[in-house]
Chain A
C-alpha cells in the first residue's frame, strides 16, 4: 500500500559520509520506508559517491541512481526531483538529516485521508500547521511530503523562476496557500530533524554571518551578477514570499522571516548584513521593498535611512573617495 503511494527522492553532492548515514537510517531494519522506491539524484559527485550508490543499488532493488552528466547546482537538482515524481506522494530529502520514524503511522493515515500536504517536522509550528509559520518551516526541504498531483506545470514553472531565491520548493506551498482550501496534516513528533552542516544556518550569530551571506551559487560561479552574488538567505526568503498572492498573508509571511524576532529586529539584521557583506547593495533593498506592504515599507525605509551602519558606511565611502581623489591629484 505504502509502496504504491509514496516515493522518496534524495538529492546529493559530494557528501559521501553524510549520505551513507542517511541511507543506512532509511534502509535500516526498523525503517518503515525501506521498501519504498528511492531515487537518488547525484549531482556528478567526485568524491566516490557514485561507487557507493552503485553498491547500494546492487544490494537494494528499490534504489535507483540517476547521475547528472554535469553538476547543475543544488537548487536545480531539487526542481528535477519534483519533476521526476510519479507516485501520488513524493518526499524530497537532503543527504544530511536525521530520522526518527516513531510517528510514521500518522503519515500513512494522512495518505489514506488524501491530505494535500503532510508536514513531518514540527520545529516551530508546534503541531498546528497553519500559515504563516508553515511557510517559514517549509524552507526546510524534507519537512513535508508533497502531493504529486498538485505539482502542476504552473508550480514547476514558478519553481524554476524561484531558483535563484534559495527556496524553489516554496512555489508548491505558495500555490497551496493561494488555493486556500487544501487539507494539511501535521504529525505530532519530528520524523526528520535538521542535521549536518546547515544545523545553525538561520541562527542569528553576528560573528559568523559571512558564510551564510554568500549564496550557494558563489561557490561555483566564475562570475555572478550582483543581484545573485549578494542575495543572502533572508533576502531569498523574502523574495520567495512574493509568490503569495494575498497581500495580507504575504505580510504575515514576512513577519516570521526570523522566528521570535520583531519586525524591527529582522529589518535591522537585513540592513546590517547587507552593509557588512554586500557593499550596501541597492538591489537587496529593492527586493525587500517590493515584497513589503505599505506599513512595513515605511518602517523599512525609516530604518534604512537612519541606520547607524548605513550612515557609517556612507561616511566611510565618502572619506575613501576623497582620499582617492587627492591621491590622483
Chain B
C-alpha cells in the first residue's frame, strides 16, 4: 500500500504562526510517516505572517499546497471546507497547534491498508481501550482525533456539517453519520496526538478565535457543551442517543451537565433555545432530571452570573 494515495491531510489555520511552524516542521520531518501525503493548508486570511511561513514551506516541499481565503470565513467554516475539498480515500484534518508522536503510527497505517474502517481514531481511548461509544464520540469532538473515510462525505453530510457550523463541531456530522450507518471504527493501542487539553473558556471567546466580530445571536449564546449536545442530536437512534447522554461524564448525564454547564451557565441561560433542543430529545424521566438540573444550576449560578455578566 502506498500511503500517499490513501491519505490526504488538511490543516485549517488562522494567525498562530508559532504553533503552525512547530506543527509543520513535525509533519515534514524525515521521521514523519505522513510526509509523502498531500497536505493542504487552508489559511483563513492570516495577518501575522503565517501566510509567508506557509509559502516558504510550500516551496520547500512539493506535497504542501497553500490555499489562502480572501477573507476570514470563521474557523468552523474553514473546517467544513476541508471536508468539501477532500478527494483521497481517507482524510485527516489536523489543527495548527497539534504535536505528534509517531511511534504508534504503524498500526494505523496497517488499518488504513485494510480499507475496512470508516473512522480511525488517532488517540487512545480514555477508558483503557474499552469500545464505549459515548467515549468515542466525545473523543471525536476533537478534530484531529479521527481519520475519516471520504466516501462517507455525501451531500447530505456536508449540509449537516454546514448546519452544524453554529454548534462549533461541524465534523461531528460525519461521525454521527458513521454511527447511524453502524460503520467500523478503529481503536488504536497507542497514542499519536500528544496530550491535548480541552479548553473550557466561554464560547464567545473561543469561537471567534481572537477575531473581533459580532457573532450571530445563536452563536453568542453557544457554549462548547451545548454545541456538543446539539451536535449529537444527529444520531438517528434514540436509544443510542440516550445511552450516549448517560455515559458522557463519569457520573452520568447529570455529572456531565453539572461539570460542564456550571462554567457556562451564564451564557447558556440566556438562550432558551438550546435548552429546548436538548430537552426535546430526552425521554420523560431524563427530561424531568434535566429541567431539575437546569433549575438547580440557575439557583447556584444566580449570584455569580450577576458578577460576571460579560466575559
Contact = CB atoms under 8 A, between A and B. Distances in A.
A160 B211 CA distance: 15
A223 B240 CA distance: 15
**Chain A contact residues, majority secondary structure:** helix
Contact of B272 (A68, A75, A224, A290): A290
Contacts of A224: 156, 160, 163, 234
B141 to A, nearest CB: 16
Interface in A283-308: 283, 285-287, 289-290
Contacts of A156: 71-74, 77
Interface in A147-175: 151-154, 156-158, 160-164, 171
Nearest to A240: B216
8 contacts: A69-B85, A156-B72, A217-B160, A222-B156, A225-B160, A226-B233, A228-B163, A287-B273
A242 interface: yes
B87 interface: yes
B55 interface: no
B91 interface: no
B84 A70 contact: yes
B84 A222 contact: no
B277 interface: yes
A220 interface: yes
Given A156-B71, A156-B72, A223 B162 contact: no
Contact of A162 (B76, B154, B216): B216
A160 B156 contact: no
B213 interface: yes
A243 interface: yes
A221 B156 contact: yes
Given A153-B72, A157-B73, A162-B216, A72 B84 contact: yes
B267 interface: no
Nearest to A239: B218
A156 B73 CA distance: 6
B214 interface: yes
Contacts of A287: 273
A46 to B, nearest CB: 11
Nearest to B152: A222
A114 to B, nearest CB: 21
A157 B213 CA distance: 9
A71 interface: yes
Contacts of B157: 221-222
A222 B154 contact: yes
Contacts of B292: none
B155 interface: yes
B276 interface: yes
Interface string A188-224: 0000000000000000000000000000010011111
B6 interface: no
Enumerate the 3 nearest inter-chain pairs by beta-carbon distance, A residue then B residue, closest first: A221-B156, A161-B216, A153-B72
Nearest to B279: A282
Given A153-B71, A156-B73, A225-B233, A161 B273 contact: no
A83 interface: yes
B62 interface: no
Contacts of B166: 161, 163-164
B155 A220 contact: yes
B165 A163 contact: yes
A86 B273 CA distance: 37
Nearest to A152: B71
B219 interface: yes
Contact residues on A (Cβ < 8 Å of other chain), bracket:
35 or more
Contacts of B281: 226
Contact of B218 (A225, A228, A242): A242
B71 A160 contact: no
A32 interface: no
B69 interface: yes
A283 B218 CA distance: 13
B70 interface: yes
Given A151-B71, A156-B72, 20 more contacts: A76-B162, A153-B71, A153-B73, A157-B215, A158-B213, A160-B76, A163-B165, A217-B156, A217-B159, A220-B155, A220-B159, A221-B157, A225-B160, A226-B233, A226-B280, A227-B277, A228-B160, A239-B218, A282-B280, A290-B272
A227 B77 contact: no
A83 B73 contact: yes
A223 B73 contact: no
A283 B273 contact: yes
A86 B156 contact: no
B272 A160 contact: no
B236 interface: yes
A76 B159 contact: yes
B137 to A, nearest CB: 14
A307 B144 CA distance: 49
A283 B165 contact: no
A150 to B, nearest CB: 12
B30 interface: no
Interface in B136-173: 153-160, 162-163, 165-166
Contacts of A243: 216-217
B180 A158 contact: no
Contacts of B297: none
Contact of A69 (B71, B84, B180, B236): B84
A73 interface: yes
Given A156-B73, A160-B76, A160-B162, A71 B272 contact: no
Contacts of A153: 45, 71-74, 211, 213
Contacts of A221: 155-157, 159-160
B163 A163 contact: yes
Contacts of A158: 213-216
A225 B156 CA distance: 12
Interface in B51-74: 69-74
B230 interface: yes
